[in-house]
Structure 1
């Protein structure tokens, strides 16, 4: 279980203030969506959770301890652009995540360790809906399939925190609905806390347990550098969503299962 605490956080680039006095508490296994206009610091905040950016003031704690100064296997990330290796097959991409995790110096596994990792990788590939595509290269996959692969690659390392930076923004609506179902399954089945940046409010309220809006309260041209974004809204999604309890999710009108006339209490939906 991983909880995140953000205390008196400021981020500045020279004279420009990007984030101003951010205070947040994320419960373990929550799914938090960050929304707000472009340029308000959402992605900067996500990069700070990944340790790609340093706080100017304040601190970020994970389970009560200061966040590691460098990105690590405890925090997985999926970007809008498909961050997979084009020269590796689907199986190779997912297996590489295990190799980096279990053998950080050589990134190679052998014998029993490799067979176990390959078995786990194939099971995860099937879980994300890519069974039968293990030997294909990313160039032969559609956008939705590449994003499924990116999710599998990130989750293969068993991160305690999964960070999503507008991961579904480039997908067609129908494909996005399928990926939403996949994301629900993964969040429910994996022991992880999820923080997602999105511009899509419907997506935020469809997936998240909590929606947090960043906003610059003073946004006139002469104020933009000296006043950063703060938390404008902090909304707990109702009814509550609890990891492992799929039947509490509010139905999505784009859900392919619902399109066939099945309601949220239908067994097929609960097992989706």
Structure 2
């Protein structure tokens, strides 16, 4: 059993089945790239790991215990569209997570605790290349810089698990390459467990230590909504395997989102 374990997980909305029979173990420190066609339930799977949704059937365990039914500080998330607060500058965006964790009633740390929190936030912003933009508001940052801010915001509470939902899809190719390098470095430095949804199959194989493909195994044209997606391929990767994309997965590459 892995640190994060999905055991015969189903997700159903009324008579529509989105995911079915998902059984997957994710060990500590893995970087799992999740691919598949549009509508294959990839983002739903990520929301399950976040605690934003609960399975209709089956269990999700973290270290052998049921995953909490709501998002917690042990899980950070970064979305494709920059999930930062537009009315806060970069430093306050990152400090917000520490304020909420350390002072849930007041929503703001004070005194020595705030000074220490500020030092942590500044250090992390410097690590992601935003050390000169502490007082800059998101609207004045480029797309790549906003995504760096979103990553810092997600990492400030030192989560064990980082969830990435098409985090680089809206970026220009050159900026995207820079972000690939940054997220790989942060994965290794912080010993994160990462689940990343992407429609870019080359990105999936480049970054992941494992690639999981979701799709429907069954299909009935008379009742297509009665069959859900599951993990149809699961490829552990080493450095050599990252360079070659299996032909059965190449057809799954698509440019549209869930």
Give the TM-score taking structure 2 as reference length. Answer: 0.90
| Cross-structure match for 2:89 | 89
| Cross-structure match for 2:169 | 169
How far apart are the structure 2 equivalents of 1:126 and 1:80? 22
How far apart are the structure 1 equivalents of 2:150 and 2:101? 16
| Cross-structure match for 1:5 | 5
| Cross-structure match for 1:266 | none
How far apart are the structure 2 equivalents of 1:172 and 1:187? 22
Superposed structure 1 runs of 4+ greater than 3 Å apart: none
Task: After TM superposition, give the deviation of residue 221 of structure 1 in Å.
Answer: 3.6
How far apart are the structure 2 equivalents of 1:105 and 1:190? 29
How far apart are the structure 1 equivalents of 2:80 and 2:220? 30
Secondary structure of 2:233's partner?
A: strand
Q: What is the count of residue pairs matched by the alignment? A: 242
Of the structure 1 ranges 40-49 and 221-230, higher mean CA displacement relative to structure 2 is found in: 221-230
| Cross-structure match for 1:263 | none
| Cross-structure match for 1:70 | 70
How far apart are the structure 1 equivalents of 2:207 and 2:105? 37
Task: After TM superposition, give the deviation of residue 192 of structure 1 in Å.
Answer: 2.2
| Cross-structure match for 1:258 | none
| Cross-structure match for 1:39 | 39
How far apart are the structure 1 equivalents of 2:97 and 2:237? 33
How far apart are the structure 1 equivalents of 2:36 and 2:82? 23
Task: After TM superposition, give the deviation of residue 203 of structure 1 in Å.
Answer: 0.8
How far apart are the structure 2 equivalents of 1:186 and 1:105? 31
Task: After TM superposition, give the deviation of residue 205 of structure 1 in Å.
Answer: 0.8
Of the structure 1 ranges 191-200 and 132-141, higher mean CA displacement relative to structure 2 is found in: 191-200
Structure 2 gaps, min length 5: 244-258
How far apart are the structure 1 equivalents of 2:221 and 2:162? 35
| Cross-structure match for 1:212 | 212
| Cross-structure match for 1:138 | 138
Correspondence 1:57 to 2:80: no
Task: After TM superposition, give the deviation of residue 110 of structure 1 in Å.
Answer: 1.2
Deviations for 1:37-75, whole angstroms, at most 9, x for unmatched residues?
A: 010000001101111111010000001000001111111
1:102-181 maps to which residues of 2 (within 5 A)? 102-181=102-181
Task: After TM superposition, give the deviation of residue 240 of structure 1 in Å.
Answer: 8.2
In the alignment, is the contact (CA less than 8 A) between 2:53 and 2:69 conserved in 1? no
Task: After TM superposition, give the deviation of residue 115 of structure 1 in Å.
Answer: 1.0
Give the TM-score taking structure 1 as reference length. Answer: 0.86
Structure 1 gaps, min length 5: 242-248, 251-272
Secondary structure of 1:225's partner?
A: helix
Secondary structure of 2:132's partner?
A: coil
Deviations for 1:137-159, whole angstroms, at most 9, x for unmatched residues?
A: 00000000000000000000111
In the alignment, is the contact (CA less than 8 A) between 2:80 and 2:169 conserved in 1? yes
How far apart are the structure 1 equivalents of 2:63 and 2:179? 29
Deviations for 1:196-253, whole angstroms, at most 9, x for unmatched residues?
A: 1111111111111100000112345424211111211100112389xxxxxxx97xxx
